[in-house]
Amino acid sequence: MTWQPVVGLEIHVQLKTRTKMFCRCANGFGGGENTQTCPVCLALPGALPVPNRIALEWTLKLGLALGCEIPKRAVFARKNYFYPDSPKGYQISQYDLPSCVNGRMLVPSSAGDHEVGIVRAHLEEDAAKTVHVGGRTGRIGGAEHSLVDFNRVGTPLVEIVTGPDIHSSEDARRFLQLLRQTIVELGISDAEMEKGTLRVDANVSVRPAGSAELRTRCELKNMNSFRFVAQGIDAEVARQIAVYEAGGEVVQETYDFDASSGALTARRSKEEADDYRYFPEPDLVPVEPPAELVERLRGELPELPSVRIRRLERELDLDRALVLVTGGLDRLYEATVAAGAEPLPVANLIANRLATSAGDAVDASQLALLVGARDRIPRAVLDDALSHIDEPGFEAAPYLAQEAVSDTGELEPVIARIIDANPGQVAAYRGGKEGLLGFFVGQVLKETGGKANARVVSELVRERLGA
Amino acid sequence: MGVSSVSSVVDTLRLTAEEAAGLVERKEVTGAELHRAYLDAAAERDPELHCYLRLVDEPNGDGVPVALKDVISTHGIETTAGSKILAGYVPQFDSTVAARCKAAGLPIIGKTNTDEFAMGSSTENSAYGPTRNPWDPERVPGGSGGGSAAAVSAGLAPWALGSDTGGSIKQPSALCGNVGLRPTYGTVSRYGIVAFASSLDQVGPVAKNVRDCALLYSLIAGRDERDSTTVELPEPVRLPEGEDLSGLRIGVPKELNEAEGIEPGVTTAVQNAIELARSLGAEVGECELPRSVEYGLACYYLIAPAEASSNLARYDGVRYGLRVDGESYREMVERTRDVGFGDEPKRRIMLGTYALSAGYFDAFYGQAQKVRTVIAREHAAAFERFDVLVSPTSPTVAFKLGEKAANPLAMYLSDLLTIPSCMAGLPGLNVPCGLSEGLPVGLQLIGPQFSENTLFRTGHALEQAIGFDPVPERLR
């Protein structure tokens, strides 16, 4: 039987507002443990929450970017549970009436746009950070003692819940890349998985291909990179298929992903089911965003990454378009092309040679000049130019003045030496491994100190070996 | 000026806060001397009455001292809410009402006794022992704010703040013979008030007369940016004058005045007050609040415990207050809460947890919220015809210590008449209207939202006409 994976994602995004969600404490890293706290976030008796207006607006912004409807009324609720990371004994979170509902994100794929439903995006507060000392598992059970740092408690957190619309680990990764880029471009979060400002849980099930049923799902947690999310999904899909094919049933469970082994470990089942006893938070009034505010925020939205990918696809292939857009480099690409450079070389050079962070600092007209001269100037000079291109006041002119060695008489003896020195690679090339051309060109460039014209060398080598 | 000569000027049993402020203004006494006079009175009478959990020796202002119920956070002064679980907890911040008292120059004279977490109607649930009624020390002062009410009656404070969830200001004021206001929900900040039931809790003043009550209310009321549920007062507080009630329409809700368990002496005193109101020019008519009275109490005992079960979750031994160690986090939390909470908080945490549980939420908490809307509408309908509704505040006069302690349901019925308007978020004023069996009877005046000025006007006129002596007979 062929099986289809069914994946829904729950994504938590820490907002980088200046202050916390319900108090005026500074939000973010910095300061020693328990220095960014106050009566409200420490849950001293009588302290009351006051919602952060910016966090509410940013949530709406994100919801609008994800095509969500903005209900007239959102309500904060209390999610009650005992744990040392929850000083009030409850988390304030939107529950049955969230800020954003019923959106969708289009994920471009080779088979056309793939639509992932956004069930909801709601605002809540993050928990404190706990460290469990002693014991074997690093968990609270069996620990000798636990330490709590309340700096993080109360950080605004948006939770985005997708429909079960994702059917491969690759689709999941692509969705997350696009979502992350959307969040970063809205300027509301750094959305870095390594730092925990973006966290992803995956609900995974499988079903016979062609069926529309939803079978028992398992939840995967603790995957702190997009690659691990994909690995985790693949591993869980394989596990569930094996269970079904052996005649078994999948049991609903939560698994932790172990990055070092790629293995999934089931969490110890709780003695009783969770009952969070949600009820409307009586310390807060309902949130009723005025229509004018929603329209203003909608008007402020930048052009979305998925739309830009579709536009770039007219000149480039999907993969290159994705890399440029999710790397935040597509605006530089478009500006460089507009400055007169050829699209494909610009895309390759930007995608392969420039750091994501450099994008905004680069002067497209200067980059266009370098792209135009890329075959004429020595490779070493091009490399040198690219390493300085994001510096203020960068000028391409001095680099363009240096010609690469294209003189056949000068290059031929070097090429001959390299070919003689590598009989094995020569035989392999002639046996059909044409990819080795790059190896020979690279050796010649190295021998000439990067001054040889790579295109000329490449032609000469091909001629020589083709004989 | 020596202490003895101050005592001759300052009769704390009789002196109103307004008069005390006058003495200070005219420099007949200093703020410090005034403060000392009340401390002296406490030294004399509080060993018997136990109104205070702690006293403040050095005044931090020049004005008329104020006593605060121990659910009100005070910077640097231990605040326990009458519970062992908060023993030794000293707030690092002032509640907004404490800060506003200080800003108005009122020094805090002490923290008054309360039922644990304000849960009770007799102050017998305090983990630190009961308060006794100044009119008869064998009897309770009501609750939960029995400490504040008894302190004002016994001359141990000129005025005080209490907190009211289902009657904790109005009912003790009735049983101790003073004036207490439960303000419109949202007019007084709850920031820094140890929470019992957030959608019901309101801070309010307790005083010797209506003018003092209005004055103290004017100092604490109004929007506070630290409490999202507060609003600005639609009109300034007016200190009441005069006895004329002409044009005032008074409604007498049948169910609140004829409920089972109302003592005959209470009914008589209340009816006399209603007749007096008529003679002062008010129009009096009957009205009905059938569902409010029939369902109010049951509804309250779902919503208040539900919110309490969540509000009391923070007392886990992790950050402050009592911690009883255990082998694991869970065991530590369980032991701390087992040792730290008394029976009444435990009872309400269990009730509330049950009412919010999956599968029960809709039938209990959800349904109670719907009934609450019905109660609010029923009151709104009555206020289309009337400006003020009247009834007894408490069905009985002060009862004996221990009389209801073993029967929680009988105790809960003490709040039968105060709870419906609390559920509707409405203001209510208790004004003493006479004695029954030598003990004070309280008249409850209920108005629509933000009608405090009308309540003050009505209460003041009746107070003048009734001529009730707020000093307990045995202390005169």
Task: Read off the amino acid at residue A74.
Answer: A
Region of B9 (left: φ > 0; alpha: ψ -120 to 50; beta: rest) is: alpha
* A110 and A150, same domain (yes or no): yes
Q: Are residues A81 and A222 located together in one domain of the fold?
A: yes
Q: Does the structure show a pLDDT above 70 at B398?
A: yes
Tell me what the mean pLDDT of segment B371-387 comes to.
98
CB B93 within 8 A of CB B138: no
Catalytic entry in B126, B144, B173, B394:
B144
Within 169-208 of B, beta carbons closer than 8 Å to A belong to 190-195, 197-199
A92 and A176 belong to one structural domain:
yes
Which residues in chain A have their CB less than 8 angstroms from residue B340's CB? Answer: none
Encoded tokens for A35 = 């220095």
> CB within 8 A of B172, min separation 6: which ones?
B123, B141, B142, B143, B144, B145, B146, B148, B149, B150, B162, B180, B206
**A46, A47, A275 member nearest B358 (Cβ):** A275
Single residue among A282, A298, A314 that ends a domain in this structure? A298
| A318: in domain | no
Q: How many Cα atoms sit within 13 Å of B66 on the Cβ side?
A: 36
Residue-number span of the structural domain to which A370 is assigned: 329-400
Is residue B144 part of the annotated active site? The answer reads: yes
Question: Nearest CA of chain B to the CA of A221: how many Å?
Answer: 23
Could you tell me the pLDDT band of residue B3, with boundaries at 50, 70 and 90?
A: very low
| Residue A97: CA count within 13 A, CB half-sphere | 15
**A334 inside domain:** yes
For the purposes of burial, counting CB atoms within 10 Å of the CB of A356, is it exposed (0-12), middle (13-18) or buried (19 or more)?
Answer: exposed
Q: At what angle do helices B96-103 and B210-220 cross, to 10 degrees?
A: 110
pLDDT of B4 over the 60 cut:
no
Token couple for A302: 């930048």
Instruction: Please tell me the total count of domains within chain A.
Output: 3
Confidence of residue B166 (pLDDT cuts 50, 70, 90): very high
Label residue B375 by pLDDT band (50, 70, 90). Answer: very high
* Whether A386 and A414 share a structural domain: no
Count Cα neighbours of A341 within 13 Å in the Cβ-side half-sphere: 26
Characterize the bridge pairing of strands A112-125 and A156-162: antiparallel
For residue B326, tell me if it sits in a domain. no
Residue A447 is predicted with a pLDDT of: 85
- Average confidence score pLDDT of chain B: 96
Q: CA nearest B189 in A: which residue?
A: A48
Closest-CA distance, B244 to chain A, in angstroms, reads 40
Q: How far apart are CA A27 and CA B339, in angstroms?
A: 36
Q: Specify whether A239 is located in the same domain as A374.
A: no
Q: Is residue A216 part of a domain?
A: yes
What span, in angstroms and rounded, lies between the C-alpha atoms of A334 and A322?
Answer: 14
Q: Best residue in B318, B333, B335, B361 to probe A by mutation, most A CBs within 10 Å? A: B318
Query: Closest approach of chain B CAs to the CA of A251, in angstroms?
Result: 22
> What residues in B contact A84, CB-CB < 8 Å?
316, 318, 329
Catalytic residue status for B168: yes
Task: State the burial class of residue B201 (Cβ atoms within 10 Å of its Cβ: 0-12, 13-18, 19+).
Answer: buried
The larger pLDDT score, comparing residue B312 to residue A410, is at B312
Are A337 and A238 members of one domain? Answer: no
Assigned domain for A323 exists: no
Task: Assess contact for B164 and B182: CB atoms under 8 A.
Answer: yes
Domain-embedded: residue B308? no
- Better pLDDT: B86 or A467: B86
Q: What are phi and psi of A287, to 5 degrees?
A: -95, 120
Q: How many angstroms separate the Cα of A437 from the Cα of each of A43, A375, A430, A454, A462?
A: 67, 17, 10, 11, 7
Q: How many CB atoms lie within 10 A of CB A302?
A: 12
- Distance, in Å, from the CA atom of A365 to the CA atom of A305, rounded to the nearest integer, reads 23
Q: What is the pLDDT of residues B15-28, one digit of tens each?
A: 999 999 999 999 99
**Chain B contact for A51, CB < 8 A?**
yes
Place of tokens 């640097």: B76
> The tokens of B375 are what?
């109660």
Q: What is the pLDDT of residue A271?
A: 47
Q: Using one digit for the tens of pLDDT, what is the confidence trace for A295-317?
A: 999 999 999 998 899 899 888 98
**B318 part of a folded domain:** no
Q: Do A94 and A216 fall within a single domain?
A: yes
Reported ipTM: the value is 0.96
CB A48 within 8 A of CB B227: yes
Q: Which of B81, B192, B229 lies nearest to residue A283, judging by beta carbons?
A: B229
Among A277, A298, A319, where does a domain finish?
A298
The answer as to whether B139 is a domain residue is yes
Residues 293-312 of B with CB under 8 A from A: 306-307, 309-310, 312
> Is position A81 within any domain?
yes
Identify whether A187 is part of a domain: yes
Smallest CA–CA separation between B108 and chain A, in Å? 18
Q: Which of B168, B309, B391, B394 is catalytic?
A: B168
Tell me, yes or no, if B473 comes closer than 8 A to chain A by beta carbon: no
Structural domain contains residue B359:
no
CATH of the domain at B50: 3.90.1300.10
B433 touches chain A (CB under 8 A): no
Residue B84 designated active-site: no
Tokens matching residue B133 = 């009624």
Does residue B250 fall inside a structural domain?
yes
Alpha-carbon gap, residue B457 to A105, rounded angstroms: 62
Residue A47 CA to residue B190 CA, distance in Å, equals 8
Last residue of a domain, one of A400, A433, A456: A400
Q: Are residues A394 and A454 in the same domain?
A: no
List, in sequence order, every residue forming a beta bridge with B72; answer none if it has no partner: B193
Structure tokens at A235: 């591993």
Which residues partner with B26 through β-bridges? none
- B385 and chain A in contact, CB less than 8 A: no
Q: Is residue B312 part of a domain?
A: no
Domain containing A416 — which CATH number? Answer: 1.10.10.410
Count CA within 13 A, CB hemisphere, residue A170: 6
pLDDT-wise least confident of A353-357, B150-154, B348-352: A353-357
Instruction: Write out the residue range of the structural domain in which residue B120 sits.
Output: 3-290+375-475
A201 with A249, same domain?
yes
Q: How many domains does chain B have?
A: 1
Task: Check whether residue A371 and residue A425 sit in a common domain.
Answer: no
What is the spatial distance between Cα B112 and Cα B149, in angstroms, rounded to a whole number? 9
d(CA B421, CA B182): 10
**Size of chain B in residues:** 476
Say whether pLDDT at B1 is over 50: no
Tell me whether strands A263-266 and A279-280 are parallel, antiparallel or unpaired.
unpaired
In a domain, A357, yes or no: yes
Asked if residue A386 and residue A240 are part of one domain, the reply reads: no
Cis amide linkage into residue A211, ω under 30° from 0? no
Pairwise CA distance, residues B157 & B15, whole Å: 10
Confirm whether A317 is domain-assigned. no
Is residue B212 included in any domain, yes or no?
Answer: yes
Residue position matching structure tokens 């904790």: B168
The minimal CB distance from A46 to the residues B73, B309, B356 is found for B73
Least-confidence region, from A22-36, A393-407, B26-40: A393-407
pLDDT tens digit sequence for B230-267: 999 999 999 999 999 999 999 999 999 999 999 999 99
How many residues would you count in chain A? 467
Whether residues A235 and A375 share a domain: the answer is: no
